[in-house]
A and B are shown apart, each in its own frame.
Chain A
Amino acid sequence: MVYDNPDDVKIGLEVHVQLNKLKTKLFCGCSTDYHNSDPNSHVCPVCLGLPGSLPVINERAVEFAIKIGLALNCSIVEQTQFHRKNYYYPDLPKGFQTTQYDYPIAGNGKIVIEGEDGERVIRITRAHMEEDPGRLQHIGNIERSKGTLINYNRSGMALIEIVSEPDMRSPKEARRYLDKLRSILDYLDVFNGDLEGAMRVDANVSVFNGQRVEVKNISSFKGAERALLYEIMRQKNHIRRGGTITMETRHFDEARGVTLSMRTKEEEHDYRYFPEPDLVPLRVADRVPEVIKTLPELPDAKKERFMKEYNIADMHARALTIEIKVANFYEEVVSKVDPKVAAVWVADILKGELNYRDLTIDAFRVEDIVDVMELVIANSITEQSGVEIIRTVLDHGGKPQDIINKKGLLKVEDNIVAKAVEEAIAQNPEAVADYRAGKEKSLNFIVGKVMQKTKGRADAREARERLIEKLKE
Chain B
Amino acid sequence: MITKEEVEHVGWLARIDISDDESYAYAQKLNSVLDYFGQLDEVDTEDVPPTYHVADIVNVFREDKVQDSMPQEEVLANTEHKHDGNFKAPRII
Do B66 and A148 touch across chains, with their CB atoms under 8 A apart? no
Chain B residue with the shortest CB-CB distance to A270: B13
Chain B residue with the shortest CB-CB distance to A140: B91
Do B53 and A277 touch across chains, with their CB atoms under 8 A apart? yes
Within 8 A of B (CB), among A130-144: 136-139, 142
Q: Tell me, rounded to whole Å, the shortest Cβ–Cβ distance linking A376 to chain B.
A: 48
A contact residues around B63 at 8 Å (CB): 59-60
Within 8 A of A (CB), among B63-93: 63-70, 72, 75-76, 83-93
Which of A38-46, A230-238, A378-386 lies at the interface? Answer: A38-46
Determine if A147 is an interface residue (Cβ-Cβ < 8 Å): yes
Determine if A30 is an interface residue (Cβ-Cβ < 8 Å): yes
A contact residues around B69 at 8 Å (CB): 30-31, 41-44
Cα A43 to Cα B66 in complex, Å, equals: 12
A contact residues around B93 at 8 Å (CB): 142
Within 8 A of B (CB), among A261-283: 265-266, 270, 275, 277, 279-283
Cα A142 to Cα B76 in complex, Å, equals: 24
Determine if B36 is an interface residue (Cβ-Cβ < 8 Å): no
> Given A23-B65, A88-B13, A281-B58, A147–B75 Cβ distance below 8 Å?
no
Determine if A99 is an interface residue (Cβ-Cβ < 8 Å): no
Determine if A79 is an interface residue (Cβ-Cβ < 8 Å): yes
> Given A38-B85, A147-B89, A24–B64 Cβ distance below 8 Å?
yes
The 8 A CB mask of B38-58 against A (1 = contact, 0 = none) is 000000000000001111011
Do A38 and B72 touch across chains, with their CB atoms under 8 A apart? yes
**CB contact between B64 and one of A60, A136, A149, A281 (< 8 Å): that residue:** A60
Determine if B61 is an interface residue (Cβ-Cβ < 8 Å): yes
Do B65 and A43 touch across chains, with their CB atoms under 8 A apart? no
Q: Tell me, rounded to whole Å, the shortest Cβ–Cβ distance linking B46 to chain A.
A: 20
Q: Which size class do B's interface residues fall under? A: 35 or more
Cα A24 to Cα B93 in complex, Å, equals: 30
Do B76 and A40 touch across chains, with their CB atoms under 8 A apart? yes
Do B52 and A150 touch across chains, with their CB atoms under 8 A apart? no
The 8 A CB mask of A72-114 against B (1 = contact, 0 = none) is 0000000101000011111000010000000000000000000
Q: Which size class do A's interface residues fall under? A: 35 or more
Determine if A151 is an interface residue (Cβ-Cβ < 8 Å): yes
Do B53 and A139 touch across chains, with their CB atoms under 8 A apart? no
Cα A352 to Cα B24 in complex, Å, equals: 68
Cα A147 to Cα B81 in complex, Å, equals: 10
**CB contact between A147 and one of B57, B65, B90 (< 8 Å): that residue:** B90
Do B52 and A29 touch across chains, with their CB atoms under 8 A apart? no
Determine if A57 is an interface residue (Cβ-Cβ < 8 Å): yes
Cα A147 to Cα B90 in complex, Å, equals: 5
B contact residues around A291 at 8 Å (CB): none
B contact residues around A138 at 8 Å (CB): 91
Cα A282 to Cα B52 in complex, Å, equals: 11
Do A56 and B61 touch across chains, with their CB atoms under 8 A apart? yes
Cα A29 to Cα B83 in complex, Å, equals: 26
B contact residues around A280 at 8 Å (CB): 53, 55, 57-60
B contact residues around A87 at 8 Å (CB): 13
Q: Tell me, rounded to whole Å, the shortest Cβ–Cβ distance linking B78 to chain A.
A: 9
Cα A388 to Cα B61 in complex, Å, equals: 55
Determine if A146 is an interface residue (Cβ-Cβ < 8 Å): yes
Chain A residue with the shortest CB-CB distance to B90: A147
Do A45 and B70 touch across chains, with their CB atoms under 8 A apart? yes
B contact residues around A86 at 8 Å (CB): 13
Determine if A209 is an interface residue (Cβ-Cβ < 8 Å): no
The 8 A CB mask of A28-58 against B (1 = contact, 0 = none) is 1111000000111111110010000000111
> Given A24-B67, A44-B69, A282–B58 Cβ distance below 8 Å?
yes
Residues of B within 8 A of A (CB): 9, 12-15, 52-55, 57-70, 72, 75-76, 83-93
7 closest residue pairs by CB, A with B: A29-B67, A149-B86, A59-B61, A60-B64, A150-B87, A56-B62, A39-B85
Further contacts, 18 of them, CB under 8 A, given A44-B69, A59-B64, A280-B60: A22-B64, A29-B67, A44-B70, A57-B60, A58-B64, A61-B64, A89-B92, A139-B83, A147-B90, A148-B90, A149-B86, A150-B89, A151-B86, A265-B12, A280-B57, A280-B59, A281-B53, A283-B58
24 A-B interface contacts by CB (under 8 A): A22-B64, A23-B65, A23-B66, A24-B65, A30-B67, A40-B87, A41-B85, A42-B69, A43-B69, A43-B75, A44-B68, A44-B70, A56-B62, A57-B60, A57-B61, A58-B61, A62-B61, A81-B53, A150-B88, A151-B85, A151-B87, A152-B75, A279-B60, A280-B58
